Structure 1
Amino acid sequence: MRDFFTLARWMPGLVALLGYQRAWLLPDLRAGLSVAAVALPVAIAYAELAGVGAVVGLYSCILPMIAYALFGSSRQLIVGPDAATCAVIAAVVTPLAAGDAGRHWQLVMTMTAMTGVWCLIASRFKLGVLADFLSRPILMGLLNGVAITIMVGQLSSIFGFTFDQSELIERIAAAPSYLALIHWPTLGISLLTLVVMLACRRYRPQWPSSLLGLAVTAALLWLLGPERIGVAVVGTLSGGIPRLQLPEFPPGLMRELVLPALNLAMVSFVSMMLTARSFAARNGYDIDADNEFRALGVANLASAVSQGFAISGADSRTAVNDANGGKSQLVSIVAALIIALVTFFLTSPLQYIPTAALGVVLVMASLSLTDFRGLWALRHSDRSAFWLAWITFVSVLFMGVIPGITLAVLLGLFQFLRNVMRPTDQLLGMSEEGVVHTLGQNEAIRAVTGVLIYRFNSPLTYFNAAYFKRRVLQLLTTGEGHPPKCLIIDAVSCFTHQDISVMSMVGELHKELKRRGIHMVMAGRRSQMTHWLHQAGIRVGEEGILVYPDLYQALRMTRRYREPDEPEPAVSPEAAAGPATARAPSPVDS
């Protein structure tokens, strides 16, 4: 039994497959075939984007998909090449390779392996919470910037010329000068691919439009001969079973790749978790973020040793899986086996695929990453999120993909620190029925005369303790009417752990309040607060800080500071039984 639980913790996908139901087989086979039909052309296109041979994109599907099927916990998620990850790899590796194709491929594998190692380290230290680190607006700005970068970069493949510039803004500025260099047969192939894909999506949306577009143009070039019309094609693929090898880790290059690999692991994981969680919620189950980090790491290591590049969760292929009724991780295995069959034995027809058609596929795939309407809509719902998203978007365009991702991570960190260091706070009052609510939301809620009830909506720690003290003293001096005689602090919301700096601040605040003739009361966490205050050398009781089980008990015991005609606070049956069992209101009926 212990071995089973260990297996379930490390390989939840395998455990799910051991309990496979026969009724799932037909839907899984149908979904696996559909996923493979979509993944094949996309993998070849993304290999071109990453700067490696087309067969490398196929290698990046086979072992990683099988590895995730065994180690992952999502029944719908399909992993594989992704536009954002390939754009990051190309941005990092291309300058380091200096035009050497063999060195470029080796660096891609090394960076992929390092990304996998970072994911395993994160899983070991249970950093799955990083799935929530990059906020959705920041990720929206990042993906929109990456999409624009990819689309502009593919213009050279679509129109048949070569960019002399390496940066996005310079390419856009020089675009008019390239109009005279358009290769018209290449542009014709691009338009034919686009027409086939759009027609397929319009009249046969269940068909794989990318695969059909590549098949039509490849067949046309096979008939005409690509050398006769001068259209670039993928060319002969080596195919066959990849030779498993360990990536090289030269110290100098590791220093260059370690931080980009960390950024890539972060972005890949956050993007993957957004997809995995949305489809898990749709199908009524939960997934473990720490386990998903491990599964992503194993899949990337599997890709590296099979000569592939970094992968992530593929939202389009996951959607195809779900739309075709996929029930289990067997879909990934079926799709991987079909791709392996093509890679090992049927690569000959792939040599006629035009690179212009691959450029169109990449542009169409990148369009799915864009959501400018959603970015613009943020200005109404959340102004700070709106500016965060657009700053990230503009940074990716002007600074590049890697600096843009680094800035996105820093923005996420700064956003978190700002929310913790300067959180929202509220003053609380009572209704006529004696129920505690937040002031300002309802005219029937009145402040308790002589008593200030304060809630700080963040855990108190050393970097926001001084702000907490300033806010309390500010509210005590700016209140309307007579100054309060008693301060009640909701300890449930802010005193979540012991901190020496916080307790030192509490002692200083108590002395200042005592000098002003104001009694200090803590409501909630009575046992913990009493213990922490004693350890800090702060007196508890009538001569020090009063501590009560909850806000209602604190208000009942401080009635001498209130007007006699004010309502009594509501008392739950638990509170009526005695202070030791009083109910701690959650987060106080606000």
Structure 2
Amino acid sequence: MRDLFTLARWMPGLVSLLNYRRDWLTADVRAGLSVAAVALPVAIAYAELAGVSAVVGLYSCMLPMVAYALFGTSRQLIVGPDAATCAVIAAVVTPLAAGDATRHWQLVMTMTAMTGLWCLVASYFRLGVLADFLSRPILLGLLNGVAITIMVGQLSRIFGFTFDESQLIERLAATPDYLALVHWPTLGVSALTLSLMLLCRRFRPLWPSSLLALTVAATLLWLLGPNQPGIEVVGNLSGGLPEFQLPEFPPGLMRDLVMPALNLAMVSFVSMMLTARSFAARNGYDIDADQEFRALGVANLASAISQGFAISGADSRTAVNDANGGKSQMVSVVAAGVIALVTFFLTAPLQYIPSAALGVVLVMASWSLINLRGQWALRKSDMAAFWLAWITFVSVLFMGVIPGITLAVLLGLFQFLRNVMRPTDQLMGINEEGVVHTLGRNEEVKAIAGVLIYRFNSPLTYFNASYFKRRVLSLIGNEQAQPNCLIIDAVSCFTHQDISVMSVVGELHKELKRRGIHMVMAGRRSQMTHWLQQAGIRVGEEGILVYPDLYEALRMTRSYLVASSPDERQSRNDSAAPAGTGALRSEA
């Protein structure tokens, strides 16, 4: 039993496969064949985008798919080459390789291995929460910028010329000058490929449009043979098992890959989790974010061992899987088997695939990533999210993919820090039933005379403790009549012991005591008492009062105020207190 628990913890996909149901097999085989039909042309196209041989794209599919099937928790997710991932790899590796194809490939594998290691480290430290670190608006702007960058970069293949410029804006500015260099036969193949893909998607949406278009284009060039009019093709591919090779370049280059690999691991994981969670919710099950980090790390290490490049969750192939009724991780195993069959025995026909057709496939894949309408619609719901998305988008376009991703990560960090350092807060009151609610949202909720109930909506730590103190004193200063007691909801903000926080609490207590205000903590009674006493802050009648919850604090505070001011008891009952406070007082 213990061994089974350990196996389920480390390889949940394997446990699922060991408990496989026979009635799933037909649906899984059908979905696996469909996924392979989509993955084959896309993998070849993304290999071209990453700057390596087309067969490397196939190597990047087989073992990673099997690895995820064993280690992943999503039944529908398909991993493989991804447009954004390949664009990042190309942007990092190309300048470091300096035109050396062998070094380029080795750097790609090294960066892939580093990405996998970063994912395993994150899984070990249970950092699956990072799936929520890059907010959706930031990721939306990032993917839109990457998609447009890829599309512009593929114009040279589609039209048959070569860009001299390396950055997007310069390429767009120079495009009119390149129109005179258009290679018309290449443009004709691009137009044929695009037409076939659009027609297939229009009239046969379930067919693999990219595979069909590439097959027709490759067949056409095969028929033309050596007489084909200067159209660039993939060329000869060496099938079979890849020849394992160790990196042969200065260690300094590896240092240049460490931080880009970290950025790539972050972006790949967040993008993968968005896809995995959406399909898990659709099919009625949950996924483990920490385990998904481990599965992504193992899959990337498997790709590096296969001489491939970094992979991520593939939303289009996952959608194909789901549309064809895939039930389990067996779909990935079937698809990997089909791709292996092609890689080892059927690579000869792939040599006739025109590069222009691959460029069209990449443009169409990138087009599916673009959601400028959704990015613009953010202005109606959240202006802060709107500006975050557009800043990220413009940064990717003007600064490049890597600086844009770095900025996206920093924006996510700054957004988190802003929410923690300057969180929302509320003053609380009670309604006629004696239930505590936020003041200002409901006219039935009334403040309690002489009592201020405060809630700080963030864990208190050293970098927001001073702000907490300023907010409390500011709210007290804004009251028309100074309260006799301040009740702080300790549950929402005192989540861990921090000596800096306790120091600020001690300062706040002294200031409130000087003003004649009693300080009360509500919630976490045992912890708060222990933490306050360790910090040398007195607890009890001469110090800070600590109660188990807000309602107990209210009852005891009201009783204390009534007992200490008997002359004002009747006036407070008649004029200030809602009906609910009477109920609270009678229970004390």
TM-score by length of 2: 0.96
1:157 aligned residue:
157
Deviations 1:279-300 (A, max 9, x none): 1111111111111111111111
Q: Which amino acid aligns with 1:195?
A: S
CA RMSD of aligned residues (A): 1.7
Percent of aligned pairs with the same amino acid: 83
Counterpart secondary structure, 1:225:
helix
Alignment of 1:79-478 (within 5 A): 79-225=79-225, 227-247=227-247, 250-478=250-478
1:516 aligned residue:
515
- Distance in structure 2 (CA, Å) of the matches to 1:356 and 1:205: 23
Distance 1:9 1:244, change over 3 A: farther
Q: Which amino acid aligns with 2:360?
A: V
Indicate conservation of the 8 Å contact 2:103/2:248, yes or no. no
Q: Which amino acid aligns with 1:402?
A: I
Deviations 1:2-50 (A, max 9, x none): 1111111111111110000000000000000000000000000000000
1:507 aligned residue:
506
- Distance in structure 1 (CA, Å) of the matches to 2:272 and 2:23: 28
The reply to whether residue 564 of structure 1 matches residue 573 of structure 2 is yes
Distance 1:247 1:115, change over 3 A: farther
Q: CA deviation at 1:246?
A: 4.4
Distance 1:249 1:300, change over 3 A: farther
Q: CA deviation at 1:444?
A: 1.7
Indicate conservation of the 8 Å contact 2:396/2:403, yes or no. yes
* More moved, 470-479 vs 1-10: 1-10
Indicate conservation of the 8 Å contact 2:103/2:249, yes or no. no
* More moved, 172-181 vs 248-257: 248-257
Q: CA deviation at 1:375?
A: 0.5
Q: CA deviation at 1:247?
A: 4.5
The reply to whether residue 526 of structure 1 matches residue 537 of structure 2 is no
Q: Which amino acid aligns with 2:148?
A: I
Alignment of 1:8-27 (within 5 A): 8-27=8-27
- Distance in structure 2 (CA, Å) of the matches to 1:246 and 1:165: 32
Q: Which amino acid aligns with 2:573?
A: P
Q: CA deviation at 1:447?
A: 1.4
Q: CA deviation at 1:169?
A: 0.8
Q: CA deviation at 1:225?
A: 3.0
Q: CA deviation at 1:572?
A: 11
Q: Which runs of 4+ in 1 moved over 3 A?
A: 244-250, 567-573, 575-578
TM-score by length of 1: 0.95
Give structure 1 stretches of 5+ with no counterpart.
579-590
- Distance in structure 2 (CA, Å) of the matches to 1:81 and 1:525: 49
Indicate conservation of the 8 Å contact 2:158/2:359, yes or no. yes
2:537 aligned residue:
538
- Distance in structure 1 (CA, Å) of the matches to 2:283 and 2:330: 16
- Distance in structure 1 (CA, Å) of the matches to 2:435 and 2:118: 50
Q: CA deviation at 1:228?
A: 2.8
Distance 1:380 1:286, change over 3 A: same
Q: CA deviation at 1:567?
A: 3.2
Counterpart secondary structure, 1:235:
coil
Counterpart secondary structure, 2:388:
helix
Indicate conservation of the 8 Å contact 2:484/2:517, yes or no. yes
Q: CA deviation at 1:224?
A: 2.0
- Distance in structure 1 (CA, Å) of the matches to 2:442 and 2:4: 55
- Distance in structure 2 (CA, Å) of the matches to 1:187 and 1:209: 19
Q: Which amino acid aligns with 2:300?
A: N
Indicate conservation of the 8 Å contact 2:425/2:455, yes or no. yes
- Distance in structure 2 (CA, Å) of the matches to 1:268 and 1:434: 49
Counterpart secondary structure, 1:547:
strand
Counterpart secondary structure, 1:296:
helix
Indicate conservation of the 8 Å contact 1:59/1:303, yes or no. yes
Indicate conservation of the 8 Å contact 2:234/2:351, yes or no. yes
Counterpart secondary structure, 1:520:
strand
Alignment of 1:65-76 (within 5 A): 65-76=65-76
Deviations 1:309-365 (A, max 9, x none): 100000000010011011111100100010010111111111111111100100000
